[in-house]
Amino acid sequence: MENNIWYKTRAFFEEAGGIVIFTGRFFSEVFKPPFEFKELLRQCYQMGNKSLLLVGVTGFILGLVFTLQSRPTLMEFGAESWMPSMVSISIVREIGSVIIALICAGKIGSGIGAELGSMRVTEQIDAMEVSGTNPFKYLVVTRIVATTLMLPLLVLIGDAIALFGSAIIENLKGEVSFLLYFNQVFDALTFADLIPATIKTFFFGFAIGLVGCYKGYYCSKGTMGVGEASNSAVVYTSMLLFVIDFIAVFVADIFNG
């Protein structure tokens, strides 16, 4: 029992240390030429464009459900007119970014973990290395930069679609026009809501790329290792997203006074 706790604690710190070293290596390589722009663009397309449908559907349903669930409570207090403000602030500040980042951790993070993991076990990464190409730069740096750049865009699009979903419910149930709904949304939102929430999403994207790449790049041998890399990429990223979210909210709160 004691041994087991010791083993798990040591494994946790080894993992954390490994991720820190991996992050250091990323920063030492990212600004150093040669740059892999073509691969970066391909990754941005893979991660951004191909996640759009999932993010769109998630955002739309989020807006619908959130509005449907909140309406009865607000009606009870005669506060339906607060609906656009409440929904927009909740989605833009917190729920939209966290839920879309979690969805992306599942789709993109696990995809990266599985792809790099399978490249590791089939020696494709070694083949890149011996052909004189730096696989860290080609595979890892491009993916982490792509997720860091794409996640904020996906969150912005997801938030907009969520607000659209919410406006549909308001329009159908509360007979509120789209123009009035979005006027209220833009009245309620300030840059103080939007800017910290957007900055936070860059860190979310970075975490998704970093953990997915770390797990895949150092995948242990065998197909079981690939499964584990993919699975643990999602688990670790999800936990990390909540930690980053807490820190971001805490820092934003200090700045907002």
Contact flag: residue 28 with other proteins (CB under 8 A)? no
Which residue number, 141 or 176, has a Cβ lying nearer to other proteins?
A: 141
How far the first Cα of the chain sits from its last, in Å, is 47
Which residue number, 72 or 132, has a Cβ lying nearer to other proteins?
A: 132
Which residue number, 93 or 137, has a Cβ lying nearer to other proteins?
A: 137
Q: Site residues for other proteins, window 162-191 (CB under 8 A)?
A: none
Determine which residue in the list 34, 72, 78, 257 makes contact with other proteins, applying CB under 8 A.
Answer: 34
Neighbours of 68 (CB within 10 A): 13
Which residue number, 120 or 200, has a Cβ lying nearer to other proteins?
A: 120
How big is the site for other proteins, counted in residues (CB under 8 A)?
A: 15
The distance of closest approach from Cβ of residue 15 to other proteins in the complex, given in angstroms and rounded to an integer, is 22
The distance of closest approach from Cβ of residue 144 to other proteins in the complex, given in angstroms and rounded to an integer, is 18
The distance of closest approach from Cβ of residue 64 to other proteins in the complex, given in angstroms and rounded to an integer, is 37
Which residue number, 33 or 78, has a Cβ lying nearer to other proteins?
A: 33
The distance of closest approach from Cβ of residue 134 to other proteins in the complex, given in angstroms and rounded to an integer, is 7
- What's the token pair of residue 249? 């909210």
Which residue number, 34 or 72, has a Cβ lying nearer to other proteins?
A: 34
Q: Site residues for other proteins, window 110-149 (CB under 8 A)?
A: 115, 119, 122-124, 126-134
Binding marks (x or -) toward other proteins, 63..102, rule CB under 8 A?
----------------------------------------
Q: Over the chain, what HEC string results?
A: CHHHHHHHHHHHHHHHHHHHHHHHHHHHHHCCCCCCHHHHHHHHHHHHHHHHHHHHHHHHHHHHHHHHHHHHHHHHCCCHHHHHHHHHHHHHHHHHHHHHHHHHHHHHHHHHHHHHHHHHHCCHHHHHHHCCCCHHHHHHHHHHHHHHHHHHHHHHHHHHHHHHHHHHHHHHHCCCCHHHHHHHHHHHCCHHHHHHHHHHHHHHHHHHHHHHHHHHHCCCCCHHHHHHHHHHHHHHHHHHHHHHHHHHHHHHHHHHC
The distance of closest approach from Cβ of residue 126 to other proteins in the complex, given in angstroms and rounded to an integer, is 5
Residues near other proteins (CB under 8 A) are 34, 115, 119, 122-124, 126-134
